[in-house]
Structure 1
Amino acid sequence: MARIKKAAVLGAGVMGAAIAGHLANVGIPTLLLDIVPRELTEKEKEKGLTLSDRVVRNRLAQAGKDRLFKEKPSPLFTKETAHLIQVGNMEDDFDKLAGVDWIIEVVVENLKIKQDLFARLEQVWKPGIIVSSNTSGISINQMVEGRSEEFKKHFMGTHFFNPPRYMKLLEIIPNASTDPAILDEMKAFAEEVLGKGVVICKDTPNFIANRIGTYGLQITLQAMEELGLGPDEVDAVTGRAMGRPKSATFRTLDLVGLDTFIHVANNVHDNVEDPEEKQAFVVSPILKKMVENKWLGEKSGQGFYKKVKTDAGKEILALDPKTMEYRPSKKLKARSLDQAKRAKSLPEQLQALVYADDAAGKLAWYITKKVLIYSANRLHEIADDIVSVDQAMKWGFNWELGPFEMWDAIGVEKSVARMREEGETIPKLVEDLLASGGKSFYKTDAGKRYAFYVGGKFSEVNEHDKAISLARLKEQGKLIKGNKGASLIDLGDDIACLEFHSPKQAIGADILNMINTAVKEVSANYRGLVISAEAPNFCVGANLMLMLMEAQDHNWPEIDLMVRQFQNAMGSLRYLDRPVVAAPYGMTLGGGVEVCLPCDRIQAAAETYMGLVEVGVGLIPGGGGNKEMLIRWTEGVDPNDRVALQPLVNHVFMAIGQAKVSTSGLEARKYKFLRSCDGITANRDHLIYDAKQVALGMAKAGYQPPQPVRIPVVGETGYNVLKLGAYGLLKSGYISEHDYKIACKLAYVLSGGDVPEGTLVTEQYLLDIEREAFLSLIGEPKTQARMQYMLAKGKPLRN
């Protein structure tokens, strides 16, 4: 891992540029090359440029890099990371490839072109340089036919999923000669540095995820036609209801591009020998017709869905497969869908759906049955074990459960009995499982997870040393204490972990009580505390519904008590006599940020979106967030130096007042949600491990808790500066009257209230005026309207 310090990407198309972008995200200088253009553009002609000018020769690579700044969601952690990408072309800069540690080929999906490129590359290649192809399905072995054994030893497929920054899966495909040690090195590098979930694949058409995923899409298309449904009706079943992304089937196809999907399907069709499997990958006439019409999906403006303007705004139309015309979207109405929504777990949800005798149930059963049977039949060909298949589908297609986990969820015995009744041939793998007395593909014993392997035995699932599962620890009896909102878990080595598991990890009485319990327990019996969770997001803030109900009942003493308890709990974290490390990830908003700020260290996931967003619901931070941000921004500043102090307070005012949210862990440093001493973990699965190591390191170094500080404030003079800025926004029409009222309250707190500029105030003083401002705002009818709207719509109301 240590020797991969510089990389090169050959091909600056959508994927090539995005891969270069992600390499830059993790701090790897990258050379991005593309071919030399053969013609000038009109703009180049107007500038008097020629084909020999460097700017022209690098045009395609530069265009790829420039595209990174425009795409949404952004391929870059921050715009500044792009400086690590150096552009060039494959004629003038080809010799530079000898100076990198890893070369990734991302050119057109054509075997001959790739073979020619690798033949040329070997002329400048030096032993030790790893070379890989990002192909989505071309044979890895065929690409390097005719290359030296030494080159082949360093060659493999590295199939990134799009977009590379956000998609966890990386399929690594060795060729017949790949050095096992180099394969292990690349796997470790991808997991540790790139933050990927790696699956080792066999050199088969479309590898694992696209092989099964494409089959599933093909089967869904067939089912839609046979059942006479529309894409919108199918998507109502094949999305969240089945534990899959909200984009379901046909919205996903529109995003991928129908022409791209056809290419992937044809690749399997043309390269498999089983006649039945060949038939399964024959492209639907509907898809062919759509591509002929250039209805390619999002990139062409229409596919299975089409967005049109109406008098009321915008409307999404859906394609009617029978008439090939667009009609208003509709959702499939079925009792099983309603039952699935009420289910308490995904297995219950799936069972309610696939065993139902209505349109949704029949569709879900048919798709599920076919995909499960196909996955089991192809297992020996595409992977070494069921775990690889399940991980590939979860990481590459964002399924909540992989095929074999899904089979367990709906019940192997029950589903197989129905399959037999319907005349299906049961795969040998499944027959072997049942013959051995097994009732599921996975089982847990003493907190260890076992999977059924080809050959009829269960083997322990090899977990990464850094992948700490809180759920598994609880199964092993490591729960110290817990309630409905949070748990305190023993991580080993005398480090405890406080886990939030309330709905959406919202902070309420249960979490605050467990924080206080954790502080006492860790102080008495442990060396340090980590705060994290395993839900999709770290914490979305305080329990908004509870606060709104109390406000509507005019129960001000109760709200005052809740805010005091929150502030006191955060203070107990700040001054605990053991190191406290927060490990946030995903959405870390409002109160979630306020939990992190008083901690001694933050070890954030690379994909962490932090922001004090309370103004969106008509409030300001109430759990000490204002105070903590002032401490961070004014640390070390002379309190009498107004020239230096006021701009820093302005930064805090703008970040909180505009509800700034970082787009990555790296960008969180820009707002000082993270400090320079805080760490960033690329692989979310390793986050708790890394946070634990930080806590251990601080404990071993003789940790001493911080002492209370006095904070310099800009006082009344600075308050007027902040207020004047807000007034300008009001008069310019950028903010409403109520926004202005919130801004003035925020300005009062951040300036320290009615004191002279340069005054050093205590933390408690700031907490008191923060709480007073919070209570005054929550009593405002317009604030309560904002809170109500956020709870109902999930987005802010501007009133």
Structure 2
Amino acid sequence: MNECSFNICGGKLMRHIRQAAVLGSGVMGAAIAGHLANVGIHCTLLDMVPPALTDEEEKRGKTLQDRDVRNRLARLGVERLLRETPSPLYVKRAVDRITVGNLEDDLERLSEVDWIVEAVVEKLSVKQQLLEKVEAVWRPGTIVSSNTSGLSVHEMTAERSPEFRRHFMGTHFFNPPRYMKLLEVIPTEDTDPELVRKMRAFAERVLGKGVVIAKDTPNFIANRIGVYGLLVSFREMVRQEMFPDAVDDITGPAMGRPKSATFRTLDLVGLDTFVHVADNVRDRVSDPWEKDAFTVPPVLRRMVDRGWLGEKSGQGFYRKVKNKSGSTILRLNLDTMDYEPRKKVKAASLEAAKRAKTLPDQLKTLLFAEDAAGRFAWNVTKKVLLYSAAKIPEIADRVPDIDRAMKWGFNWKLGPFEMWDAMGVARTVQRMKDEGETVPKWVEEMLDSGRDTFYSRVEEGPTVFTPAAKVEKVEEDPRSISLERLKEEGKFMKGNRGASLIDLGDDVVCLEFHSPKNAIATDIISMMHTAVKEVTDHYRGLVVGNQGRDFCVGANLMMILMEAQDDNWAEIEWMIRQFQDATMALKRCPRPVVAAPFGFTLGGGAEVCFPADRVQAAAETYMGLVETGVGLIPGGGGTKEMLVRLTDGLDLKNAIALQGAAGQAFERIAMARVSTSAEDARELGYLRPQDRITMNRDHVLYDAKRVVLELDEAGYRPPPPQKIPVTGETGYNVLKFGAYDRLKSGQISEHDFKIADKLAYVLAGGAVSEGTLVTEQYLLDLEREAFLSLCGEPKSQARMQHMLTKNKPLRN
């Protein structure tokens, strides 16, 4: 990734955040440093000088004065980044941007950086003492922030100078910093408002974060509401005599929440961390009711005392045990404190919710049901909604800040007020009052005014009802293009069940996939052809993108398997030919085409991106050609395109270089290598040097559209047809023998070898001489033949069936 520079104003001085320092190399500190390194910011990571030598250091004759000993804690933090899974780093070499040191020898380095992030232990006195030392070497204008999960930000700098306080704020990263979108920015009364605005923009654009401005209150926004909701869920579980797994069945996807739901989330967070956060609120609030609400039940403290902390200790509300068939996850019985087999909840409301077509319908189906699951969901939800409303304006002034905090920090699909709107505010408020609940006055005022939703869309744009301003416009990021909103505004052009064309404005069209999992079938292929024709005739360019959970998981495997089992080879051959023609149409389109992938971009999803003139990928893009996992090879041009990009620019007379390129393509495809990030995709050759990366997924379509306009303004011309050098029969034998060695050593199966043989033949260009130049269509024909041949293999069909039923590859 290119070096990062973002212009940010601190008072009268202008700074470019190129250098940062993180103080504290624990789990959060090291991970924050890692993410800064991810985006190209050079980072100094400092920690305490160890008080004693380790046994290993003593054996090596080290002393406490040796530099590597004094830097040990920070060095171990960096080493941990390289070991952790999932990785905090986009690519391993990102750690080269991190320099380690210690807080005694290297404090002077802080005068050289543009941003200082304090991330030491969550104790106010420790943070205060460290910030006193920081100010002694602080360069005026440098931003200083504390990564605290809930301590008082203004108390940290109460004794610091006015100028230092003006440049100080809280920046609460959610864990893990690379993957969690939420960043709560907490200014104090002394913080420069302009600096907060600039810092927000920097975090959104460069760090890829969703930023909410929180007030300096205990645990800020997301943890305040999230922890309250978890405690409510626990008490309701006890009241209804339920078990953790039953609660998780109810409070997961059925309610628009992650699969980890309630107690699996607690296990992931760590019960010790949860108890600490809850205690922090209880100790710092004055309302007796709220103190009681945040009082941790004794059984949770007993679990912490026993060391049952969740995943990090091997057991919490769940425990995984190994057995002959693999492993089994057991649930905790809180009455006996023993672990026992889980039981699936059987409730009519849950089954009905699964059949609902939209999340609002799903919520109404579940929460208004009269069975046990419905009652549990309602009793928990109403408490969270009422608490969220009661905390405005204490923890945040605006409804959207609370909704965004819960969506970005806890991965809810809808925030509390969006959920309230979806359920029906008037209906739910009446039910709450009938059940004796106290509804915040401002919510009743909204209903009395004739408005029955918190959010509303009018011609001038979206509005929201808030206690202070009553009705105000929703602050929208112009870089966040919403395809759903564009459709509502009449920008839909044409479409079918699998894909649509949407006018992005400025004569740029978006080809949106919206089939289940965005899997490619004939409807999407048809719309790809339509998109090229429409753009060629009337528009400046095309963006291929969508806003689903993932960009595209590949071809519709079920359809291919069904046709293969029916021996309908003509249908499969036609579909693959159509897909190949569609990807080539994208490549030959006389207007610029930019693909905007994100998330899983697998198989056919990658094949759609490869022919684009440019790829504007989200930083979290997991791209790869994974067809060998289901017994096939890429058939939509992926095999050909990998060879094209890896041989591009090579000396045609250099047989060794050509064989090396073919070998790299063979390894990537045969091993079904999937990138761990967009930057890793570049290293694997899935992205080219001219392709770009967007840190904030919400901005991908905006950035892709800008690239289309840049190419058009530069006088775009499509790339001419090209011929590709192949290694021929000689190269085929080299690749085949390499696979044969792996077969004989037991690394691959007989069927793996058969797939590898087909792949090697295509990449080598078939039965031709070494150095022959072949056309792209020639390679596409070889691809299609190999794909069809493998579709007919019983073991390939078994792999496809296994993937569809088990969602994991079969080795046969």
Q: TM-score, normalization: structure 1?
A: 0.99
| Residues in 1 aligned to 2:462 and 2:496: alpha-carbon distance in whole angstroms | 26
The one-letter code of the counterpart of 1:559 is: I
Match of 2:22 in 1: 9
Match of 1:183 in 2: 196
> Which residues of 2 match residues 366-765 of structure 1 at below 5 A?
366-446=379-459, 448-455=461-468, 457-765=470-778
Matched, 1:61 2:74: yes
The one-letter code of the counterpart of 1:212 is: I
The one-letter code of the counterpart of 1:14 is: V
Match of 1:222 in 2: 235
DSSP 3-state at the match of 2:684: coil
| Residues in 2 aligned to 1:187 and 1:638: alpha-carbon distance in whole angstroms | 48
| Residues in 2 aligned to 1:766 and 1:240: alpha-carbon distance in whole angstroms | 44
Q: Which moved more, 1:147-156 or 1:453-462?
A: 453-462
Deviations 1:346-402 (A, max 9, x none): 111111111111111111001100000000001110111100000000000000000
| Residues in 2 aligned to 1:259 and 1:637: alpha-carbon distance in whole angstroms | 57
Deviations 1:713-754 (A, max 9, x none): 000000000000110111111111111000000000000000
CA shift for structure 1 position 430: 1.3
Find 1:136's aligned residue among 149, 160, 163: 149
Match of 1:109 in 2: 122
| Residues in 2 aligned to 1:17 and 1:696: alpha-carbon distance in whole angstroms | 39
CA shift for structure 1 position 451: 1.3
Deviations 1:469-500 (A, max 9, x none): 11111111111111111111111111111111
Q: Which moved more, 1:262-271 or 1:332-341?
A: 332-341
Match of 2:12 in 1: none
| Residues in 1 aligned to 2:228 and 2:780: alpha-carbon distance in whole angstroms | 58
The one-letter code of the counterpart of 1:747 is: A
The one-letter code of the counterpart of 2:474 is: V
| Residues in 2 aligned to 1:462 and 1:526: alpha-carbon distance in whole angstroms | 30
Find 1:169's aligned residue among 169, 176, 182: 182
| Residues in 2 aligned to 1:325 and 1:633: alpha-carbon distance in whole angstroms | 57
> Which residues of 2 match residues 8-157 of structure 1 at below 5 A?
8-157=21-170
Give the conservation status (yes or no) of the 8 Å contact 1:604–1:687: yes
| Residues in 1 aligned to 2:502 and 2:441: alpha-carbon distance in whole angstroms | 41
Deviations 1:228-266 (A, max 9, x none): 111111111111111111011111111111111010001
DSSP 3-state at the match of 2:578: helix
CA shift for structure 1 position 594: 0.3
Matched, 1:344 2:351: no
| Residues in 2 aligned to 1:311 and 1:552: alpha-carbon distance in whole angstroms | 34
Count of residues in Structure 1 that have an aligned counterpart in Structure 2? 799
| Residues in 2 aligned to 1:499 and 1:725: alpha-carbon distance in whole angstroms | 41
Match of 1:322 in 2: 335
The one-letter code of the counterpart of 1:69 is: L
DSSP 3-state at the match of 1:496: strand
The one-letter code of the counterpart of 1:96 is: R
CA shift for structure 1 position 447: 8.2
Give the conservation status (yes or no) of the 8 Å contact 1:633–1:672: yes
Deviations 1:626-683 (A, max 9, x none): 1111110001112221111101110000000000000000000111110010000000
CA shift for structure 1 position 456: 6.3
Match of 2:13 in 1: none
| Residues in 1 aligned to 2:385 and 2:194: alpha-carbon distance in whole angstroms | 34
CA shift for structure 1 position 446: 3.8
Give the conservation status (yes or no) of the 8 Å contact 1:719–1:753: yes
Match of 2:218 in 1: 205
Give the conservation status (yes or no) of the 8 Å contact 1:432–1:456: no
DSSP 3-state at the match of 1:177: coil
Q: Which moved more, 1:331-340 or 1:454-463?
A: 454-463
Matched, 1:271 2:274: no
DSSP 3-state at the match of 1:68: helix
| Residues in 1 aligned to 2:586 and 2:705: alpha-carbon distance in whole angstroms | 16
Deviations 1:60-87 (A, max 9, x none): 0000000001111100000011100000
The one-letter code of the counterpart of 1:358 is: D
Give the conservation status (yes or no) of the 8 Å contact 1:617–1:787: yes
Give the conservation status (yes or no) of the 8 Å contact 1:446–1:476: no
| Residues in 1 aligned to 2:119 and 2:175: alpha-carbon distance in whole angstroms | 13
| Residues in 1 aligned to 2:296 and 2:521: alpha-carbon distance in whole angstroms | 52
Deviations 1:252-292 (A, max 9, x none): 11111111101000100011111111110011111011111
DSSP 3-state at the match of 1:468: coil
Match of 2:264 in 1: 251
Deviations 1:739-790 (A, max 9, x none): 1000000000000000000000011110111100000000111111111111
The one-letter code of the counterpart of 2:611 is: P
The one-letter code of the counterpart of 1:107 is: V
| Residues in 2 aligned to 1:446 and 1:568: alpha-carbon distance in whole angstroms | 42
The one-letter code of the counterpart of 1:720 is: N
| Residues in 1 aligned to 2:343 and 2:80: alpha-carbon distance in whole angstroms | 36
Q: Which moved more, 1:386-395 or 1:432-441?
A: 432-441
The one-letter code of the counterpart of 1:765 is: Y
Matched, 1:778 2:787: no
**After TM superposition, where is structure 1 displaced by more than 6 Å over at least 4 residues in a row?**
none
| Residues in 1 aligned to 2:619 and 2:386: alpha-carbon distance in whole angstroms | 37
DSSP 3-state at the match of 2:101: strand
Give the conservation status (yes or no) of the 8 Å contact 1:433–1:456: no
Give the conservation status (yes or no) of the 8 Å contact 1:157–1:174: yes
CA RMSD across the alignment: 0.9
Give the conservation status (yes or no) of the 8 Å contact 1:447–1:475: no
DSSP 3-state at the match of 2:580: helix
Gaps of 5+ in 2: 1-5, 8-15
DSSP 3-state at the match of 1:491: strand
Q: Which moved more, 1:443-452 or 1:680-689?
A: 443-452
The one-letter code of the counterpart of 2:642 is: M
